[in-house]
Structure 1
Amino acid sequence: MSSEQSFKIMRDGSITTPKGFKACGLHCGIKKSMRYDIGSIVCEVPANAAAVYTLNKIQAAPIGVTKNSLQVEGKLQAVVANSGNANACTGKQGNQDALTMRSETAKLLGLPEHHVAVASTGVIGECLPMEKVIEGIKKLPESISDGGGNDFGQSILTTDLTEKNICVEVEVNGKKAYISGAAKGSGMIHPNMATMLGFITTDVNIEHTQLQSLLNEVTDESFNMITVDGDTSTNDMVLVMASGLVDNVTLDPSHPDWFAFKAAFQHVAEILAKEIARDGEGATKLVEVEVVGAETDEDARKAVKTIIGSSLVKSAIFGADANWGRIIAAVGRADIPVDPDTIDIRLGKIEMMVQSTPIPFDEHQAEFYLKKANEIHIHVNLNIGNGYAKGWGCDLTYEYVRINAAYRT
């Protein structure tokens, strides 16, 4: 591990790498295809847990059930998740179905109901086929294993093209500890959570309140800094479970290894967020926007979100059109303080504007960059303060329209 990076990326790690965790994924029949559509993460012990949820005022039934579970002790020992059906806007039946998923999972695993979280993702407005779901839940105990992390990752996918997994090793109190994550998300993605589910496991010993505080802080700089299409879903949730089985002293900001752990945790969240943006429905490019020189970090975040969420900016990137006018127009409508005479804009290494004055640049070079690079970087300096933020999105393509024009068919 270098002094610059206090953690090590584990290429073969998964959500089950931290001590005490097992997982599984299988097909129960929610999806018409034979793709996995139900899965579970299980911890050997009650794990200190934390979660953040969608800010959409219309929230799916599993959100309320998981909130209820965490409010009892701040601990969880299992998560049951399904894809293919969001169990959102399904009324009293939907609430009962989410409770049934929790109670059946708890019964089969021999756990208190409040130690089980529930997550769902998929089509809104359709009730779950509960006979199939219950049959799937009955198969979970025999399917859960140390090697089930990848199967779980598959079980939560909807329109995703790829699984999203990350695992890092960090030293705490002289012992190796691990932080792992699995996520899904491709469309209906916008800051303040999105149609995304994120699950993070770790074996460090960290209290519920400290874990919740850390998750809140990190989410604002990772999951809440991505957008695909400007839509905030009804089902978004990021859930963290800490088993404490690495047997280190309780970790908090006063511990000398806190900042190494926090950096590793931040990396896991950021990688998952970027992979969601990269896998945006129909996307061909990951787009990273960096704004510096704002009055405050919050202003910089607003500018990033406005740029990365602009349909005109996203369309220009897809079309390999270096149209910086769309970028500065997005900055101007971000509802933050700006000086119209001090803005710098750069596309990759190509300067396009300095002190709000257009700079001649090679159009062919810019077009080549936009066509050939897998990751597009937009840098904006407002030159009025020290505020900084970075966020991620993707281009807007014909394929995005095709996918969402026929989502239910």
Structure 2
Amino acid sequence: MAEFDYDLFVIGAGSGGVRASRIAASHGAKVAVAEEYRVGGTCVIRGCVPKKLLVYASQFAEELHDTAKLGWTLGEKSFDWAALRDFVASDVDRLERAYGSTLANNKVEHFAERATVTGPNTVRLASGREISAKYILVAVGAWPVMPDFPGNELAITSNEVFHLGSFPKRVVIQGAGYIALEFAGIFNALGAQVTVVNRSDKILRGYEEALTERLLPIMRARGIEFRFNSPIESLVKQADGSICVNTKGFLPLEADCVLVATGRRPKTDGLGLENAGITLGASGEVPVDDYNATSCPSIYAVGDVTNRVQLTPVAIREGHAFADTVFGGMPRTIAYDHIPSAAFTQPPIAGVGLTEAQAREAGYEVKIYTSDFRPMKNMFAARAERGFYKLVVDASSDKVLGVHMIGPDAPEILQAVAIAVKAGLTKADFDATVALHPSMAEELVLMR
């Protein structure tokens, strides 16, 4: 008889867990995965995929206002939140089925229930079944943080925002990270009155300041109100069903929906890792080495639960590298530099490599190149919003250390630019590239 029930047991069927399961199975491992909610994880079920669909819908609302300049005459227009919500939900269902098919096609056994760790090589399902595995992979992701204040049960997080029964006319959002500001743009463009409240006076920490300094006045000009240094102190349900929002230093607000987006924490509560001698980090994260191994030789972890970089493509690569290392005889690690990132705000921002502040802090003497322009697409809009691109260059080697952009389609353009930055190309290489005209992307090779 086999010593273990499975070669690999994966807890969590998100992007990282599914990729690890599939690759391990392709290497000949007998694999099972447990998922207590839905296959697909945060990104597919309640994160980047449904959110991006809402972004597209809200951008279309914006473009409708510009149709007259495009030569179109339209009839009466109206917005149906339920139709959009249900379409997004149907696409999530489609993707969940696709992820489930991926597991089935690779002969990965799927347990639709919670699993907890009971020892270095054992897990217990919610049904009570005990299962043994030579290796256990923890890929349970992260969960929204809800601050502790009176009435916080009246607020929702990004988990629930996709399922609102009706469209809220007044929305208060706490937080100023990418999730908060993306939803601020979505609700604003779809017609809601939006107020963003934040405990500090900064937005999008970690992004290039030249971009965030551009974004804030644009969002304000679009009608989004910001209250800085003013976190929520309490929420009170009113007789008419609305919510009274009390924030520090300001008069109360009335809202139909309060969304809290103040960060995400690894979802390790009650997971039982202490039963395998694993001590969690300060934020509940699972500490791992470069090969995704924990302090217990038979247990590994990938994705948001490690709190390294909370991005879906990173979790996928970590899961793949884990499977190749443990089951494929091909030890691999992941490089965490030059990871492109974007905030699908309106307008969107995107960046790869070092910001100017990061480069100077790292000891580089830098040259800065910028392009400040009005995108051709914006000529049809009443708003005079400008695009802005910035290159951070090492003065001694001419190597491009970072590229940062705000403007229409910035994330789509940045993906190709990230290849150049990752490859270590120089400013001279950018200059030697012929421009693609007319395009916004050509600004990247025209800076002098």
Give the TM-score normalised by structure 2: 0.22
Q: Which structure would you say has the larger RCO, counting Cα contacts within 8 Å and 6 or more residues apart?
A: 1
Greater radius of gyration (CA):
2
Q: Please, what TM-score do these two structures have when normalized by structure 1?
A: 0.24
**Greater strand proportion:** 1
